[in-house]
């Protein structure tokens, strides 16, 4: 039996053949060059050892990895759109330790990093990676760890490290696979310090997490994650910044609204003195697909701590799932000591508010106070204009 | 004690009757083999009941002979009988020295037509006694007696050697693969496995082996990359007059029996796969993913060997030997597996793996003896080795994944399926020569090796809510776990190795006391590696799987999401630019190329001082070049993509033998050697198993690019009789800048190789005893026992590494891959019934203690491979001259094979555990 498959429409044709002696088919590929429409304009990629300043009004195509080395600045003016080649993980922008990004969009002229495919899909390209010198708990002292994507060093001892400014930036269709286990996120903050300004950012239609914090102290305000296929907001490795006003909305494919680890469980908590992730999250809204569809809004595990103030969770089977143990992942101990708690919250269409798999026993009231008092974030105000739904 | 009394009695009688009788004594030499003594040669005084055999040193004596004319018959099993007339006078002792050769010769010489086989234990012990270096061998006779079916089993019977159960790993003195070298007839052999430096010794069936030896002390003729030992396989070297034999065998594994066995679709019964010529994407589009059923899992084997010699003028003789065999093996492993870092990432409380493996071996050997001084040999060996594995992880519905997205129950129901076929095609071709002229002897060899190792179309699937497939409720069904697109994937990997290898040794015998060796070795090796992987990206994660055993109904081309509405997209990491990375063929995901060039010259001298001392100083100068270049995913953009090193090594060695007595030696050896990283240790590519990931680290070629090793050995050996030995040895090694496998600082718990410290030290002690326990009336040993044990203490100071990859280490630990205790023992019983019926029963025991499989970086504990005892029972049963009916029962204890992560906050976490089952086998051998 010999079959031929005709895939898609034609401008480029390619024949894969093997002189079939078995029943392996010849595949004739006719591709209508769906990805290539955006190769016009200026292409950018490569490792920059001097500053790169993009010009307003120019159309940019990112056709590989763009890495800003230590001491350099990437300047992206308001209104700039960078279209990334839909080639998966090797297409990304990385701001190395000691480099800075200066991306100052406005609510009417946001900066957009997106896919250049004619019908873009989640995972078309990598995303934005920022690496800083703020503390992480996977290593001790001034040691550094190596990023999942791009294999660049991050972490250090400077909590006030400054990686620049990101304002009004939207990242779309990112999350290409790096290998069988790692995927790019929308925004990845690796050990980024709180000298960095991050506000008004959106991750839209990402294949992996929307925004992930790998340690560091960076504060992020006005954070929107819509239709992320994995976790919308993720933190690990001892992240201790403050997230103020965050809005998460799930699409059809999704994982948790927030997935939080106290440390990177693949490496261990090697900090000395020991510390855990412990961000403060103020004004948080997570919108799920209804309690009947199952899933969890927030999973807290591996010893993470955190202070949640004013939360609104809508449409989940479980509100909080706390995982841990009495050993290396003392999530429950954080609740008991008051290092992991929620003040003022409202559950709407949530079946089970708190699930305790930590191995520690505590009452729901030890974890949550002010149930019914939460209002969440006012997304309709700050999210209007520059975000997409 | 009885033995001693008997000896005294004999001596007494010798003295008392010495006056009235005569005696004959002498030495039988083996002209074929450098005039070495020929042990076990039968000597009969015709017309009397007197007779003897030559001892270990080829010596014999016949005493108490009445004066008169006799004919002395010299015979050796399988050889022509020769008769020598002799006149014995009273009170006189005659000395008759016989030098036996393989061909007819002048009339005044005493000649036995013979061929030399370095196969018998006695011959090999002799070899060991004479050896200039510390070396141990095991030959075909012993292999056959102990029921060893291949070279891996063979080396595991040698002291200080252990074999990792259920894998091809061999350890010498507790040191593993990376510290060993394997050669065949002194020429480098390739590895069949990307993850190994040494070839799988299981691939060398006993039929193609003359003997296997392990040299544990360095000699300048070995490559400088030497640490624990050099394994040399001498290929079968037939010289006899002609034979043909045929074997057939059948067997069963106690755990495989009765299972509904499965294996992958697309591979054949004989271990071949027919789609290598196709683009992997075409294979994916055209062929399904489900494994296929196999009929009853019964092992079979067939083999035939034939040899024939042709004589020409001027003593020329051409000997041909050919052998071909096929055997297969079914194994079923039920157990558990866990992926643990500092938390449980995956737990599979119940796993099952089906493995169907085949080995096809063919060897042709042509040996042309031009004359007594010139010989040429040609060997060609082909091996096809295949393994077809189907694994189900999380059967019973109790699998756990920490990243579960299940909306039903995130604590259970995670399930993975892995269906993989591996085929290794190995070609070895060698030409060897030996030429003598006066005091000069030239020994040379050239070889060309090639390995094609394929892993075509491995399929791996991840499923959630698997318990719903077991509940007999057709309305609830599992879904795919689709966290990343490669959670459901098809994978293709190809490795091609090519190697040219050569050696020349010129020996010059200045005098009886002094021999000089000058030599050259060269090898040039390349490896090309590439792989590609396609992920099935499930369009709608709520797509249910109605039948987990029929994934073909989902992953067929009709459901490909070409224009919307399909069930899945096929993703590739490196798309071809025009086509993108969705639903189109891609470029290889990872490639690397390794190159190794070694050229070396050496010189050593064998200096005898009197009868007692043998001193061998030597030196080797080696030019060593190594390069690895790679294009693998997820490297930093500024990574140059290659590392290389050029070194010149000057490696001195000294070995001293002091003969305490005729049958006792003291040996000492000291040397400086190096250890070089292997391609797989340097290539940053990561191989992903179901529950573990192992990758290389090119920084191993940064300064320092090699480990310097200092070796010292002491050994005392006592050859108590021709088949008995007692030896003790102590050894020490210092390995500077050692390489260890480390669970790195890596976001995914990948194990990688690092130079983990300034030095590792090894101190060890070794003891070996082989003893005859019972003898019959003919003084043949009927019950004998062998025991050997190695105890080793290793210690290294660990330090953190940075570079492309990093590890956090700050402690003292044992050397990775080293077992402190290794024990081998065997008991052999050979009674004689009637005239010819002489069955042999052997009980073989081996044990190695826990060893570190990977060092844990930072807070992570070490991965430990737990110690395993094993017992095999083998019956050799020669029913008649033509038939042999043999039986074996292997792995009788059926121990748990276990890997454990130590010192976690959960205590020791079992990473994998399974049992292999007992192998029963029956073999019929027919000899024409």
| B688 near A CB under 8 A | yes
- What is the reported pLDDT for A21? 47
Interfacial B residues in 694-723 facing A (CB < 8 Å): none
Distance (Å, whole) CA B440 – CA B438: 5
Distance (Å, whole) CA B689 – CA B702: 28
Q: What are phi and psi of A55, to 5 degrees?
A: -105, 140
Tell me the C-alpha to C-alpha distance, in Å, between residue B215 and each of B228, B343, B541, B612. Answer: 9, 44, 58, 22
Q: Which residues of chain B does A86 touch, with a Cβ-Cβ cutoff of 8 Å?
A: 580-581
Q: What are phi and psi of B281, to 5 degrees?
A: -65, -40
Nearest to B407 among A140, A149, A294 (CB): A294
| B9 near A CB under 8 A | no
Interfacial B residues in 730-749 facing A (CB < 8 Å): 745-749
Q: What is the mean pLDDT of residues B371-400?
A: 93
**Distance, in angstroms, between B535 CA and closest chain A CA?**
9
Nearest to A270 among B283, B575, B808 (CB): B808
Distance (Å, whole) CA B283 – CA B456: 10
3-state secondary structure of B189: coil
Q: Which residues of chain A does B575 touch, with a Cβ-Cβ cutoff of 8 Å?
A: 87-88
- Name the closest residue on chain A to residue B907, using Cα atoms: A327
Q: What are phi and psi of B520, to 5 degrees?
A: -140, 140
Q: What is the mean pLDDT of residues A319-326?
A: 91
Nearest to A47 among B345, B578, B638 (CB): B638
Nearest to B573 among A88, A207, A296 (CB): A88
**Count of A–B CB contacts within 8 Å?**
231
Q: What is the mean pLDDT of residues B234-239?
A: 81
DSSP conformation class of B677: -
Distance (Å, whole) CA B424 – CA B445: 25
Q: Measuring CA to CA, which residue among B151, B157, B159, B171 is closest to residue B865?
A: B171
pLDDT, tens digit, 9 for 90 and up, residues B582-639: 888 999 999 999 999 999 999 999 999 988 899 999 999 999 999 999 999 878 777 8
Model confidence at B838: pLDDT above 90: no
Out of B119-133, B425-439, B541-555, pick the least confident.
B119-133
Residue located via tokens 């050397």: B815
Interfacial B residues in 66-95 facing A (CB < 8 Å): none
- What is the reported pLDDT for B229? 86
Parallel, antiparallel or unpaired: strands A100-104 and A73-76: parallel
Q: What are phi and psi of B161, to 5 degrees?
A: -115, 135
Check residues B203 and B401 and name the one with the higher pLDDT. Answer: B401
Nearest to A270 among B278, B541, B859 (CB): B859
pLDDT, tens digit, 9 for 90 and up, residues A119-175: 888 888 989 999 999 999 988 878 888 887 777 889 999 999 999 999 999 999 998
| pLDDT interval class at B114 (50, 70, 90) | very low
Length of chain B in terms of residues written: 928
| B476 near A CB under 8 A | no
Q: Measuring CA to CA, which residue among B165, B269, B164, B148 is closest to residue B209?
A: B148
Structure tokens at B158: 């040698």
**Distance, in angstroms, between A381 CA and closest chain B CA?**
32
Contact B497, B449 (CB under 8 A): yes
3-state secondary structure of B203: helix
- What is the reported pLDDT for A358? 92
Structure tokens at B131: 């050896």
Nearest to A180 among B486, B541, B859 (CB): B486
Contact B845, B870 (CB under 8 A): yes
- What is the reported pLDDT for B570? 93
Distance (Å, whole) CA A181 – CA A173: 18
Parallel, antiparallel or unpaired: strands B759-775 and B781-797: antiparallel
DSSP conformation class of B814: P
Contact A226, A205 (CB under 8 A): yes
Distance (Å, whole) CA B801 – CA B740: 12
Residue located via tokens 């067997």: B251
CB atoms within 10 A of CB B9: 10
Structure tokens at A378: 């006012």
* Burial (CB count within 10 angstroms: exposed 0-12, middle 13-18, buried 19+), residue B49: exposed
Element (H, E) at B2: helix B2-17
**Cβ contact (<8 Å) for B278 and A253?**
no
| B285 near A CB under 8 A | yes
Structure tokens at B597: 């060039």
Structure tokens at B214: 């392990």
- What is the reported pLDDT for A265? 84
Nearest to B486 among A67, A177, A269 (CB): A177
Q: Which residues contact B511 (CB under 8 A, 6 or more apart)?
A: none
- What is the reported pLDDT for B12? 36
Interfacial B residues in 863-902 facing A (CB < 8 Å): none
| B575 near A CB under 8 A | yes
Q: Which residues of chain B does A208 touch, with a Cβ-Cβ cutoff of 8 Å?
A: 484
Out of A331-340, B84-93, B501-510, B848-857, pick the least confident.
B84-93
Pick left, alpha or beta for residue A243 (phi over 0 → left; psi -120 to 50 → alpha; otherwise beta). Answer: beta
Interfacial B residues in 481-510 facing A (CB < 8 Å): 482-487, 489
User: What is the per-residue DSSP string for A313-348?
Assistant: EEEEEEEEEEE--SSS--HHHHHHHTSEEEEEEEEE
Check residues B230 and B140 and name the one with the higher pLDDT. Answer: B230
- Name the closest residue on chain A to residue B586, using Cα atoms: A87
Model confidence at B813: pLDDT above 70: yes
Q: What is the mean pLDDT of residues B823-836?
A: 83
pLDDT, tens digit, 9 for 90 and up, residues B557-577: 889 988 778 999 999 888 887
Tell me the C-alpha to C-alpha distance, in Å, between residue B739 and each of A60, B174, B177, B806. Answer: 46, 15, 12, 14
Structure tokens at B284: 């994916």
Distance (Å, whole) CA B598 – CA B451: 19
| B637 near A CB under 8 A | yes
**Distance, in angstroms, between A301 CA and closest chain B CA?**
10
Distance (Å, whole) CA A332 – CA B41: 80
Distance (Å, whole) CA B200 – CA B220: 25
Distance (Å, whole) CA A108 – CA A386: 6
Residue located via tokens 């690796």: A190
- Per the DSSP assignment, residues forming a β-bridge with A306 are A340
- Per the DSSP assignment, residues forming a β-bridge with A350 are A316
* Burial (CB count within 10 angstroms: exposed 0-12, middle 13-18, buried 19+), residue B200: buried
| B641 near A CB under 8 A | no
Residue located via tokens 């050994």: B715
Distance (Å, whole) CA A43 – CA A85: 10
Distance (Å, whole) CA A39 – CA A32: 15
Q: Which of A37, A254, A267 to mutate to test the interface with B (most CBs of B within 10 A)?
A: A267
**Cβ contact (<8 Å) for A90 and B633?**
yes
3-state secondary structure of B401: strand
CA angle (B649, B653, B658) in 5-degree steps: 175
Q: Which residues contact B9 (CB under 8 A, 6 or more apart)?
A: none
Nearest to B581 among A21, A47, A88 (CB): A88
Can you tell me the ipTM of this complex? 0.72
- Name the closest residue on chain B to residue A28, using Cα atoms: B282
**Cβ contact (<8 Å) for B342 and A253?**
no
**Distance, in angstroms, between A270 CA and closest chain B CA?**
6
**Cβ contact (<8 Å) for A264 and B747?**
yes
- Name the closest residue on chain B to residue A267, using Cα atoms: B745
**Cβ contact (<8 Å) for B580 and A20?**
no
**Distance, in angstroms, between A243 CA and closest chain B CA?**
24
**Distance, in angstroms, between B345 CA and closest chain A CA?**
9
Q: Which residues contact B759 (CB under 8 A, 6 or more apart)?
A: B734, B735, B736, B737, B738, B796, B797
**Cβ contact (<8 Å) for B579 and A29?**
yes
Q: Which of A181, A227, A255, A329 to mutate to test the interface with B (most CBs of B within 10 A)?
A: A181
pLDDT, tens digit, 9 for 90 and up, residues B709-758: 999 999 998 888 767 889 899 999 999 999 999 988 776 778 999 999 99
Interfacial B residues in 140-199 facing A (CB < 8 Å): none
Look up the pTM and report it: 0.81
**Cβ contact (<8 Å) for B580 and A34?**
yes
**Cβ contact (<8 Å) for A67 and B860?**
no
Out of A282-286, B59-63, B761-765, pick the least confident.
B59-63
Model confidence at B861: pLDDT above 60: yes
Contact B841, B196 (CB under 8 A): no
Contact B177, B169 (CB under 8 A): yes
Model confidence at B319: pLDDT above 60: yes
Nearest to A255 among B405, B745, B860 (CB): B405
**Cβ contact (<8 Å) for A327 and B906?**
yes
Q: What is the separation, in whole angstroms, between the first and last Cα of chain B?
A: 45
Q: What is the mean pLDDT of residues B156-170?
A: 62
Q: Which residues of chain B does A177 touch, with a Cβ-Cβ cutoff of 8 Å?
A: 484-486, 535, 571, 573
3-state secondary structure of B286: helix
Q: Which residues of chain B does A302 touch, with a Cβ-Cβ cutoff of 8 Å?
A: 343
Structure tokens at B58: 């080829």
**Cβ contact (<8 Å) for A31 and B637?**
no
């Amino acid at each position: 039996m010999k079959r031929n498959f005709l895939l898609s429409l034609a401008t480029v044709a390619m024949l894969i053949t093997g002189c079939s002696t078995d029943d392996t088919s010849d595949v004739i590929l006719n591709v209508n060059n769906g990805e290539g429409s955006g190769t016009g304009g200026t292409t950018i990629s490569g490792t920059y050892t001097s500053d790169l300043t993009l010009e307003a009004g120019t159309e940019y195509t990112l056709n590989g990895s763009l890495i800003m080395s230590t001491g350099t600045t990437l300047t992206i003016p308001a209104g700039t759109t960078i279209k990334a080649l839909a080639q998966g993980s090797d297409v990304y922008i990385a701001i190395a330790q000691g480099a800075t990004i200066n991306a100052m969009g406005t609510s009417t002229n946001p900066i957009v990093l997106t896919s250049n495919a004619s019908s873009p899909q989640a995972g078309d390209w990598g995303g934005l990676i920022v690496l800083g010198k703020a503390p992480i708990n996977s290593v001790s002292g001034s040691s550094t760890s190596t990023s999942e994507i791009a294999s660049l060093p991050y972490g250090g001892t400077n909590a006030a490290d400054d990686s620049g400014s990101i304002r009004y930036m939207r990242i779309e269709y990112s999350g290409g696979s790096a290998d069988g286990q790692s995927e790019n996120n929308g925004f990845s903050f690796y050990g980024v310090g709180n000298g960095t300004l991050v506000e008004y950012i959106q991750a839209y239609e990402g294949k992996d997490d929307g925004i992930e914090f790998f340690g560091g102290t960076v504060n992020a305000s006005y954070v929107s994650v819509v239709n992320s296929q994995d976790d919308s907001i993720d933190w690990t490795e001892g992240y201790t910044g403050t997230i103020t006003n965050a809005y998460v909305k799930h699409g059809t494919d999704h994982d948790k609204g927030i997935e939080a680890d106290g440390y990177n469980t693949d490496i261990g908590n090697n900090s000395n003195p020991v510390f855990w992730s412990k961000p403060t999250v103020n004004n948080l809204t997570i919108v799920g697909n209804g309690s009947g569809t199952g899933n969890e809004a927030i999973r807290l595990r591996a010893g993470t701590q955190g202070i949640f103030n004013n939360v609104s969770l809508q449409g989940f089977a479980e509100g909080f799932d706390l995982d841990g143990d009495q050993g290396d992942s003392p999530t429950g101990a954080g609740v008991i000591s008051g290092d992991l708690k929620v003040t003022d919250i409202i559950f709407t269409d949530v079946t089970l508010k708190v699930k305790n798999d930590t191995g520690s026993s505590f009452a729901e009231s030890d974890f949550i106070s002010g149930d019914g008092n939460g209002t969440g974030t006012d997304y309709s105000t700050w999210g209007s204009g520059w975000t997409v739904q | 004690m009885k033995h001693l009394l008997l000896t005294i009695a004999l001596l007494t009688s010798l003295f008392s009757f010495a006056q009235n009788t005569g005696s004959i004594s002498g030495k039988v030499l083996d002209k074929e083999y450098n005039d070495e003594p020929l042990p076990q040669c039968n000597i009969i005084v015709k017309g009397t009941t007197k007779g003897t055999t030559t001892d270990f040193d080829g010596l014999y004596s016949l005493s108490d002979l009445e004066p008169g004319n006799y004919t002395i018959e010299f015979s050796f099993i399988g050889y022509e009988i020769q008769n020598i007339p002799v006149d014995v006078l009273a009170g006189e002792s005659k000395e008759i020295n016989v030098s036996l050769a393989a061909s007819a010769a002048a009339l005044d010489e005493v000649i036995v037509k013979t061929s030399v086989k370095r196969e018998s234990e006695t011959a090999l012990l002799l070899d060991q006694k004479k050896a200039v270096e510390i070396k141990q061998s095991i030959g075909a006779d012993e292999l056959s007696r102990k029921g060893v079916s291949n070279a891996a089993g063979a080396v595991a019977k040698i002291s200080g050697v252990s074999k990792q159960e259920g894998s091809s790993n061999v350890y010498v003195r507790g040191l593993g693969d990376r510290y060993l070298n394997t050669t065949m007839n002194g020429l480098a052999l390739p590895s069949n496995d990307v993850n190994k430096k040494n070839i799988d010794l299981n691939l060398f069936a006993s039929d193609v082996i003359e003997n296997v030896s392990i040299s544990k002390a360095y000699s300048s003729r070995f490559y400088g990359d030497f640490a624990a030992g050099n394994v040399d396989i001498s290929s079968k070297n037939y010289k006899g007059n002609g034979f043909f034999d045929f074997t057939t065998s059948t067997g069963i594994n106690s755990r495989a029996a009765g299972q509904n066995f499965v294996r992958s679709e697309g591979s054949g019964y004989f271990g071949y796969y027919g789609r290598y010529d196709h683009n992997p994407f075409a294979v994916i589009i055209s062929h399904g993913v489900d494994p296929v059923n196999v009929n009853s899992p019964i092992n079979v084997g067939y083999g035939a060997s034939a040899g024939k010699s042709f004589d020409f003028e001027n003593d020329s003789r051409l000997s041909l030997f050919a052998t071909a065999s096929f055997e297969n093996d079914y194994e079923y492993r039920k157990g558990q597996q866990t992926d643990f870092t500092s938390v449980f990432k995956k737990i599979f409380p119940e796993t099952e793996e089906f493995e169907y493996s085949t080995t096809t071996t063919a060897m042709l050997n042509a040996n042309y003896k031009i004359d007594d001084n010139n010989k040429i040999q040609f060997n060609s060996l082909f091996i096809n080795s295949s393994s077809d594995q189907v694994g189900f992880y999380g059967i019973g519905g109790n699998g756990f994944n920490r990243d579960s997205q299940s909306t039903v129950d995130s604590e259970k129901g995670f399930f993975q399926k892995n269906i993989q076929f591996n085929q290794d095609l190995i070609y070895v071709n060698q030409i060897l020569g030996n030429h003598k002229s006066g005091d000069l002897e030239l020994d040379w060899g050239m070889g060309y090796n090639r390995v094609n190792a394929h892993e075509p179309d491995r399929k791996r699937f991840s499923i959630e809510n698997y318990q719903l497939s077991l509940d007999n409720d057709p309305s609830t069904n599992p879904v795919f776990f689709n966290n990343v697109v490669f959670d459901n994937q098809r994978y293709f990997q190809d490795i091609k190795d090519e190697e040219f290898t050569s050696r020349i040794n010129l020996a010059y015998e200045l005098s009886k006391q002094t021999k000089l060796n000058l030599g050259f070795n060269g090898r040039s090796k390349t490896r090309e590696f590439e792989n590609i992987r396609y992920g099935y990206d499930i369009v709608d994660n709520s797509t249910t799987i109605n039948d987990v055993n029929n994934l073909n109904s989902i992953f067929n081309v009709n459901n490909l999401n070409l224009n919307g509405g399909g069930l899945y997209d096929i993703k590739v990491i490196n798309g071809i630019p025009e086509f993108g990375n969705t639903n189109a063929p891609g470029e290889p995901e990872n490639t690397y190329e390794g190159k190794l060039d070694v050229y070396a010259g050496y010189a050593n001298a064998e200096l005898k001082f009197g009868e007692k001392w043998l001193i061998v100083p030597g030196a080797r100068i080696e030019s060593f070049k190594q390069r690895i270049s790679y294009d693998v995913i997820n490297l930093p953009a500024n990574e140059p993509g290659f590392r290389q090193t050029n070194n010149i090594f000057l490696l001195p060695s000294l070995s001293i033998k002091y003969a305490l007595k005729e049958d006792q030696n003291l040996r000492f050896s000291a040397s400086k050697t190096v250890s070089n990283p292997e391609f797989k240790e340097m290539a940053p590519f990561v191989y992903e198993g179901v529950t573990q990931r192992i990758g290389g680290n090119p920084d191993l070629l940064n300064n320092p690019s090699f480990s310097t090793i200092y070796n010292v050995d002491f050994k005392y050996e006592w050859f108590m009789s021709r088949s008995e030995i007692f030896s003790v040895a102590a050894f020490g090694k210092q390995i500077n800048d050692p390489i260890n496998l480390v669970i790195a600082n890596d976001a995914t718990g990948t194990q990688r190789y690092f130079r983990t410290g300034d030095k590792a030290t090894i101190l060890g002690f070794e003891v070996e005893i082989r003893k005859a326990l019972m003898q019959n009336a003919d003084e043949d040993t009927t019950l004998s026992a062998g025991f050997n044990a190695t105890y080793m203490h290793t210690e290294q100071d660990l330090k953190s590494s940075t570079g492309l990859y990093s590890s956090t280490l700050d402690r003292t630990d044992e050397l990775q891959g080293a077992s402190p205790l290794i024990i081998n023992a065997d008991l052999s019983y050979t009674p004689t019934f009637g005239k010819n019926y002489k069955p042999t029963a052997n009980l073989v025991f081996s044990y190695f203690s826990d060893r570190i499989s990977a060092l844990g970086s930072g807070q992570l504990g070490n991965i430990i491979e737990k110690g395993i005892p094993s017992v095999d029972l083998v019956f050799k049963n020669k029913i008649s001259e033509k038939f042999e009916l043999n039986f074996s029962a292997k792995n009788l204890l059926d121990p748990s094979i276990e890997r454990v992560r130590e010192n976690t906050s959960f205590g020791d976490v079992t990473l994998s555990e399974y049992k292999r089952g007992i192998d029963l086998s029956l073999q019929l051998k027919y000899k024409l």
